[in-house]
Structure 1
Amino acid sequence: MKFISWNIDSLNAALTSDSNRAQLSRMVLDRIDGMDADVIAIQETKLPVGGPSKKHLEIIRQRLPHYKICWRSSTPPARKGYAGTMFLYKDIYNPTCTGPDIGGPDTMDLEGRVLTLEFDDFYATNVYTPNAGSALSRLPERQIWDVKYRDYLRSLDDKKPVIAMGDFNVAHKEIDLANPDSNHFSAGFTDEEREGFSHILEAGFTDTFRHIHGDVEGVYSWWAQRVPTSKINNSGWRIDYFLVSDRWADRVVESNMVDSGDRQDHTPLVLEIH
């Protein structure tokens, strides 16, 4: 099976805006369509409480036909039009789709951050991990989230193998970002966040990119939009992942980034697994 994961940073904008960035996003969607994935996971949809509109659904079906859709949006008292996750999966499949609450602090469980598909012999789960925020204002809550999410993955893994994908908002090792020395106190590369990710792996999960590519350097999944030259200079971070249960690690055929051309921010990831 082939999986794609992408933090789209506003599905509404990607589908309906005429901005240059939206046009670049639609080019990426066209590239994804051509890859014939079985499952597509989207993070940071930023959709209303009611999910995609009729117009959104029509556009999705035009661009990505033959897929069923499930989603989870941010709901009050969490911020509206914030975070959110979505799955698209080929209409030959009939998984059960759930949006679990994992016991996250503050409003994190209401922000539409976790969406899970249950297939006959495995789980596929989609996550948009909370950012620690400017000045690390949300770091304490983020640390609790990491523990709760690890426990959630472990609870799934106790039943059947897991494929976990999404924006984990952490560069795990120094080789996972271009400038580690200057970012040890930046959101996404604090010792606390890196330790939280290590604990997820230690709970029985494999970082598929490292499993396939070893300690290769200079391969990233995100480049800051606020720095116009970040992608040109490849000053990026690898903060998006496909994890699998350890017992399925050797089934992984490919785990890599998808070329998103001139579009900065996140690039999609692709996983192929037997």
Structure 2
Amino acid sequence: MRGDTLKLISWNVNGLRAVVKKDFIETFNTLNADIFSVQETKLHQDQIDLELPGYHQYFFDAIRKGYSGTAVFTKEEPINVTCGLGIEDLDTEGRTLTLEFPKFYLINSYSPNSQQELKRLDFKLSYNDALHDYMKKLSEKKPVILCGDLNVAHKEIDLKNDKTNHHNPGFSDEERQKFTELLDDGFVDSFRYLHPEEVKYSWWSYRFNARKNNSGWRIDYFVVSENGKNMIDKAEILNDIYGSDHCPIELDLNLEE
């Protein structure tokens, strides 16, 4: 913590062991976040010996090895840590990790991909509904910050080729509507709140030189409950940082009373 400012980073690393073999530690140290959330760890915690001096480490692993998973590294020890949403069918893939701090809840989410031909859309929508209900309930107690790869581009501005991707995974009407419903129910997309017209992406396919051509999607978010909106100080997409098919995103909070 820097005075009354808290720096949060979220990054889908697409395999924590893989990114550690690249520049993850150097990037981690340079960013110097107070809370650093990662998605798609693709491991069980006992499969990695990660030295991050000064940080508490919390993992929620998928039952299936090498798949999904979330983790949070935080300088301040949380009051409480909760793995999952409390719904067995939705909690086997290590997708939701909640840390309670004195002034807010942090939820790290790796939302399901609805997959080709939307074959997992029903599972994705069930997850979204359960996460929405969970966030709403927690927000009655204190502000909620949701971070992570939500696997949806909300508006046309949030992806390069909106017309050709309409109805594709991550840009189906159903997924976009669920995100709209969340925002309409008292939550704020922090990047769009501060940058209403800025075009910036957080994920690029490994195919067709997508990142070189900046043909991307904005599918990584910090979403803040309305009762915490006044804490939003800065929201950025750090698209000059490599190592994954996603780049990190940043949220700075002002915790002054």
TM-score by length of 2: 0.92
- For each residue in 1:15-54, what CA deviation from the matched residue of structure 2 results, as whole angstroms up to 9, or x when unmatched? 3xxxxxx42xx2x441231122110001000113xx243x
Q: One-letter code of the match for 1:253? A: D
The answer for unaligned runs of 5 or more in structure 1 is 16-21
Aligned to 2:214: 234
1:269 is the counterpart of 2:249: yes
Q: What aligned pairs does 1:165-184 form with structure 2 within 5 A after superposition?
A: 165-184=147-166
Aligned-pair CA distance for 1:173:
0.2
Q: Is 2:178 aligned against 1:202?
A: no
User: Separation in 1 of the partners of 2:244 and 2:61?
Assistant: 24
User: Contact conserved, 1:168 with 1:241, CA < 8 A, in 2?
Assistant: yes
1:2 paired residue among 4, 7, 30: 7
Q: 1:220 to 1:47 in 2, by over 3 A?
A: same
CA contact (8 A) 2:39 2:71 kept: yes
Gap regions ≥5 residues in structure 2: 1-5
Distance 1:52 1:14, change over 3 A: farther
Secondary structure, aligned partner of 1:265: coil
2:246 and 2:177 mapped to 1: Cα distance? Answer: 23
- State the alpha-carbon separation in 2 of the partners of residues 5 and 222 from structure 1: 13
Superposed displacement of residue 102, structure 1: 4.3
| Partner residue, 1:13 | 18
The structure-2 alpha-carbon separation of the partners of 1:156 and 1:262, relative to structure 1 and needing over 3 Å to count, comes to: closer
- String of CA shifts for 1:69-121, please: whole Å, max 9, x gaps: 0111011xxx332100001001x4343111033437xx431100000001122
Counterparts of residues 1-274 of structure 1 (less than 5 Å): 1-15=6-20, 22-23=21-22, 26=23, 28-48=24-44, 51-53=45-47, 56-57=48-49, 60-61=50-51, 64-75=52-63, 79-90=64-75, 92-103=76-87, 107-217=89-199, 219-227=200-208, 229-263=209-243, 265-274=245-254
Partner of 1:19: none
| C-alpha contact 1:102 1:148 (8 A) present in aligned 2 | no
Q: Which amino acid counterpart does residue 73 of structure 1 have in structure 2?
A: D
TM-score (norm 1): 0.86
Identity, in percent, stands at: 40
Change over 3 Å in CA distance of 1:246–1:233 after alignment to 2: same
The amino acid across from 1:248 in the alignment is G
Q: Helix, strand or coil for the counterpart of 1:259? A: coil
1:166-224 Cα offsets, whole Å, 9 max, x none, are 0000000000000000001210000000001111112211000011111212x000000
Give the secondary-structure state (helix, strand or coil) at the position aligned to 1:244. Answer: strand
What amino acid is the match of 1:98? T
Distance 1:203 1:134, change over 3 A: same
Q: In the TM superposition, what whole-angstrom CA distance separates every residue of 1:110-143 from its partner, at most 9, and x where no partner exists? A: 1000000011221011000000011211012211
Which deviates more, 112-121 or 251-260? 251-260
